[in-house]
Amino acid sequence: MKLYEILTLVAIVLGPILAVQAQKYLERRRDNRNRRLGIFKTLMATRGSSLSSMHVEALNRIDLEFSDDKKYQKIIEAWKEYFDNLGHRAETEEQLAVWGAKNEELLANLLYEMGQSLGYKFDKVLIKRNIYSPIGHARVERENELIRKGLLDVLNAETAIPMTLINDDETLKKQSDLQELLTKYYKKQIGEE
């Protein structure tokens, strides 16, 4: 058997195997990139509502998807800095304002680094300022927070539900009649009448 025949035989045998392996390698790379892009796109879309579950989930996936490659080291460093600041507690309104501004800056840094590594050319100003967030969303969020806080205050016995006593004879008569009808109905249901 001649050399070219051996090489031909090896090419026939190894060619399909190498092609399949190359295809799998390319698919893994594409899947990894798509997962990283998914995190970036989610964080960009939710950067105006950092308490949303989608935003938090995307943040929690950063270590999983970006820590396996040295080229993403800047992202991991930016994430660690942002994560560290998220854990700080603000006691006063002034501290809360400073903390919030720093979070905004650190999130912009993180998104900038992600964008750069994934081929996007956003600048930090665009990341921080080009957010569409309707005023109505902010109002609803604020109202929901007030409702939750009020309900917690009642449940924790820190406040009472305000009540107004009505000293109106007609209303009192209607209330008494209603109570009497309900009593008769329930007595009839349990067979006392």
Domain range annotation of the chain: 1-130, 132-162, 166-193
DSSP 113-172: HHHHHTT----HHHHHH-----HHHHHHHHHHHHHHHHHHHHHTTSS---------HHHH
Within 46-134, residue ranges assigned H as helices are: 53-60, 62-66, 73-86, 93-117, 124-129
Strand, coil or helix: what is 107?
helix
The residue assigned the tokens 């067979």 is 191
Residue 98 to residues 75, 103, 104, 131, 147: CA-CA distances in angstroms?
23, 9, 10, 20, 26
Tens digit of pLDDT per residue, the chain (193 long)? 788 888 888 888 878 888 878 888 888 888 889 999 999 999 999 998 888 899 999 999 999 999 878 889 999 999 999 999 998 888 888 988 899 889 999 999 999 999 999 999 888 888 888 877 778 877 888 899 899 999 999 999 999 888 887 778 888 888 899 999 999 998 888 877 6
Please report, as a single letter, which amino acid is at residue 60.
N
The residue assigned the tokens 């935003």 is 55
Cα 56 to Cα 65: distance, rounded to the nearest angstrom: 15
